[in-house]
Structure 1
Amino acid sequence: MSRTGEIVLGVISALFTIIAIIGLSILVVSGSAAMQDESVKSEFQQQILNDPTFTGEEAEMVAQFVDVLPDMLSAFGWGFVIVLVISLVLNIVGIVAVTKNKKPKLAGAMFIIAGLLAGIISLTSILLYIAAIMCFVRKPPVQFAEEEYYKTV
């Protein structure tokens, strides 16, 4: 029995995950570099201090938050990149497990876990969920003993 559909869905979702990893890595690196630029920080703090809706105390709290923001964004961004890499590894394990119809149940479980880690309702996870359903639902055709007997003669 051919598992081409599951393999194709797994490969497409792996490519989407690789694109997301690269994009998010670039975003984290460039975003943290931009937020650590002193001119950007001072301009933002000046805008907050000039805003009449903020009191002096609130403006000071926002200024302190701006100092901590680059570190928080960097930590959360790299954490999400690590989660996407784990999702990619599980996706590849699922693809290998489903090739040549070796272990479709294991592949289905790997696809579901990879889909959850890739984002619960992203396009990548939806493709992985479909591949997992196909792994669990599709069964090899039943062959009777007589058919095998007549084929060998």
Structure 2
Amino acid sequence: MKRTGEFVLGIIGAVGYTFFTFIGIILIWFQNNEELMRDSFQRVVEQNPAQLEVMDIDLFISSIQNVSAVSILLLFAGSLIAGIIAMIALRKNKKPILAGILFIGAAVISTIFSGGVTIFAAIFYLIAGIMSVARKPKVTV
């Protein structure tokens, strides 16, 4: 039985999680560069002075630094790795149940812990997981 649908959905989801992983890397880099944060904040204030006149730079920096970017990065990278392992398990229809569990688990966990940010990539993983678990090979008599 071919698992092309699951594999394609897994690849699309993996591309989404790759994007979020790169966003996490950029967030960590941004957190470690306070001068860049100050410059970015000043540019935003200059473009929208009415909207941001209450917020000051120190509050902005502390709010950015309070986000645990490393844990977010690990969540996204872990979901990406789980999807890759699931796609390897799907090759030649070896372990579709394991692949389905990995896809579904990565989708649910990443969506819950990211506050719904990864919903786009998670939908593809979730559909691939359900298809992996539900589709059974035809029995020939």
TM range (shorter): 0.7 to 0.9
User: Aligned partner of 1:82: which letter?
Assistant: L
1:72-83 to 2 correspondence within 5 Å?
A: 72-73=66-67, 76-83=68-75
- CA distance in structure 2 between the aligned counterparts of 1:30 and 1:85, rounded to whole angstroms: 18
Give a deviation string over 1:68-118, Cα, whole Å, max 9, x none: 445423xx1121001111111111111111111111110000001111233
Give the direction of change, closer, same or farther, for the CA distance of 1:133–1:71 in structure 2 (3 Å limit): same
- CA distance in structure 2 between the aligned counterparts of 1:80 and 1:72, rounded to whole angstroms: 12
In the alignment, structure 1 residue 128 sits paired with structure 2 residue 125? yes
TM-score, length-scaled by structure 1: 0.68
Report how far residue 18 of structure 1 moved.
0.9
- 116, 133, 141: which one aligns with 2:138: 141
Instruction: Look at both structures and tell me which one has the larger radius of gyration over its CA atoms.
Output: 1
**Are the aligned partners of 1:21 and 1:85 in contact in 2 as well (CA < 8 Å)?**
yes
**Are the aligned partners of 1:32 and 1:70 in contact in 2 as well (CA < 8 Å)?**
no
- CA distance in structure 1 between the aligned counterparts of 2:77 and 2:120, rounded to whole angstroms: 16
Q: Percent identity?
A: 30
Report how far residue 11 of structure 1 moved.
1.1
**Are the aligned partners of 2:30 and 2:37 in contact in 1 as well (CA < 8 Å)?**
no
Give the direction of change, closer, same or farther, for the CA distance of 1:139–1:70 in structure 2 (3 Å limit): closer
Give a deviation string over 1:14-57, Cα, whole Å, max 9, x none: 11111111122113312442xx239939x89xxxxxx8x9xxxx
SS in 1 for 2:27: helix
User: Aligned partner of 1:91: which letter?
Assistant: G
Which stretch of the first structure deviates more once superposed, 3-12 or 116-125?
A: 116-125
Q: How many residues align?
A: 126
- CA distance in structure 2 between the aligned counterparts of 1:68 and 1:135, rounded to whole angstroms: 44
- CA distance in structure 2 between the aligned counterparts of 1:111 and 1:24, rounded to whole angstroms: 21
Give the direction of change, closer, same or farther, for the CA distance of 1:38–1:90 in structure 2 (3 Å limit): closer
- 12, 21, 40: which one aligns with 2:38: 40
More helix by share: 1
Unaligned residue ranges in structure 1 (runs of 5+): 45-50, 54-61, 145-153
TM-score, length-scaled by structure 2: 0.74
Give the direction of change, closer, same or farther, for the CA distance of 1:126–1:37 in structure 2 (3 Å limit): same
